[in-house]
């Protein structure tokens, strides 16, 4: 009986010592490294302000004419721009979701594009301005380039697949 209480006592002291060591080590590491910086909201970026909302789309492409809607909105405490996209054409209906992350200085974006016609995610990156962006990347299905440019009250999006122009699409604000 006495022996089991002794082992319980040693175990308790060991657990307490480990806990104190863990907390102390965390405090020292925190002092050296500091907390990671918080992401800055991007709601003040001129392009984000201009894109936010729902747009009607019309496109000409190598797959024929297409029409649909795209909606842009802020997510994750206003630190990313989310895009929901639906279009219809001779190929049927395509749904997509994009997550666009702005660099800390607001001069570069990285976009992760998912759609119902692609087997895997397409990751693209490139420069961004107050009036648009040019992003490029690749997936297992090949390379892509997308430009988005402010045109009057709307936008024009162009897409290339493996170096060949694939689509031109216009955005007009939905009413």
Out of 10-14, 47-51, 143-147, least confident range: 10-14
| Same structural domain, 113 and 72 | yes
Mean pLDDT of the chain: 87
Q: Which long-range contacts (CB under 8 A, 24 or more apart) does 151-157 make?
A: 154/55, 155/50, 155/51, 155/55
Q: Supply 85's token pair.
A: 């996209």
Q: Determine the structural domain holding residue 25 and report its residue range.
A: 1-36
**Domain assignment of residue 41, yes or no:** no
Question: How far is it, in rounded angstroms, from Cα 101 to Cα 112?
Answer: 9
CA proximity to 95, closest of 107, 109, 84, 111? 84
| Same structural domain, 54 and 106 | yes
Q: What is the pLDDT of residues 117-130, one digit of tens each?
A: 999 999 999 999 99
Q: What is the pLDDT of residues 42-90, one digit of tens each?
A: 999 999 999 999 999 999 999 899 999 999 999 999 999 999 999 999 8
Q: Looking at residue 58, which CATH number applies to its domain?
A: 2.40.128.20
| Same structural domain, 20 and 88 | no
């Amino acid at each position: 009986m006495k022996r089991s209480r002794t082992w319980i006592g040693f175990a308790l002291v060991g657990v307490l010592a480990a806990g104190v060591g863990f907390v102390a080590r965390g405090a020292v590491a925190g002092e050296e490294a500091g907390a990671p910086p918080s992401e800055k909201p991007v709601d003040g970026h001129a392009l984000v302000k201009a894109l936010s909302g729902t747009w009607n789309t019309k496109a000409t492409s190598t797959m024929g004419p297409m029409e649909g809607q795209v909606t842009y909105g802020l997510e994750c405490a206003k630190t990313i721009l989310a895009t929901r996209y639906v279009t219809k054409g001779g190929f049927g209906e395509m749904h997509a979701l994009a997550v666009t992350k702005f660099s800390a200085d607001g001069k570069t974006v990285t976009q992760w594009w998912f759609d119902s016609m692609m087997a895997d995610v397409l990751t693209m990156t490139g420069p961004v301005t107050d009036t648009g962006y040019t992003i490029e990347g690749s997936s297992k299905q090949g390379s892509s380039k997308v430009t988005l440019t402010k045109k009057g009250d709307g936008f024009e999006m162009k897409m290339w697949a493996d170096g060949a122009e694939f689509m031109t699409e216009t955005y007009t604000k939905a009413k």
